[in-house]
Amino acid sequence: MGNITGPLRISLAWQLVSTIVLAVAGAWFSGVHGAISSVFGGVVAIAGGLAFAWLAAGQKTPQNLPEASSEAAWNGLTRIFKAEAAKVGVIVVLLWLVLATYKEVLVLWFIGTFILAVIIFSMAIFLRNPVRNPVPPETGNNNVD
C-alpha cells in the first residue's frame, strides 16, 4: 500500500481553508456565534480526519511480508477499516460534545461547515501521489534488449 499521507494532508488543508471561509461568512451574516459555530463544525470534521490519517498511516508493512502478498493487502485493508471506525467515533463524540455544551450554537453554520468539511475529506480518494518510478538512463542505442 502506498503512502497515503500526501492526499490526506491536501484534503486536511482544504478542510481548514473551507472552515476559515465559512467562519468569516458566519461572522458576517450571523455574528460571533455564527463564526464560532462554523469553526466548531470544521474542527469536528478535521479532528475525525486527523484520527483517520494517524491510524491509516501509522503502521507500515512488516519487513518479512512482500509488498504484494495477500497478507499485506489484508493488513492494509484492516488498518483502513479501523481508521474509518475511529474517525466516525471521534466525529460522533465531538458532535455530541459541541451540541450538548455550546448553547448558542447556530446549527445551520455548525452542520453546514461540518458537512462541507466531511465531503472535502472524502475527496482525498481522488488525489494521487506522484508516481516515483525511476526512469532508466538512456543507453544511446535503439536496440531492444
How does pLDDT run across 117-136, given as a tens digit for each residue?
999 988 877 776 665 555 55
Residue 55's domain spans which residues?
24-59+67-126
Residue 108, all three cell numbers: 445551520
34-38-39 Cα angle (round to 5): 120
Position 142 in a domain = no
**What does the pLDDT average to over 103-107?**
96
CA distance 49 to 119: 11
φ, ψ of residue 59 to 5 degrees: the values are -110, 140
Position 31 in a domain = yes
Pairwise pLDDT comparison (45 vs 142), residue with the higher score: 45
Residue 81, all three cell numbers: 477499516
Position 46 in a domain = yes
Position 12 in a domain = no
Does the structure show a pLDDT above 80 at 47?
yes
Position 13 in a domain = no
CA distance 115 to 125: 17
Number of domains observed in the structure of the chain: 1
Q: Against a cut of 0.75, is the pTM above it?
A: yes
- Look at residue 51 in the predicted model and tell me its pLDDT: 92
- Long-range contacts: 12-16, Cβ < 8 Å, 24+? 12/46, 12/49, 12/50, 12/53, 12/121, 14/120, 14/123, 15/42, 15/45, 15/46, 15/49, 15/117, 15/120, 15/121, 16/42, 16/46
CA distance 2 to 129: 8
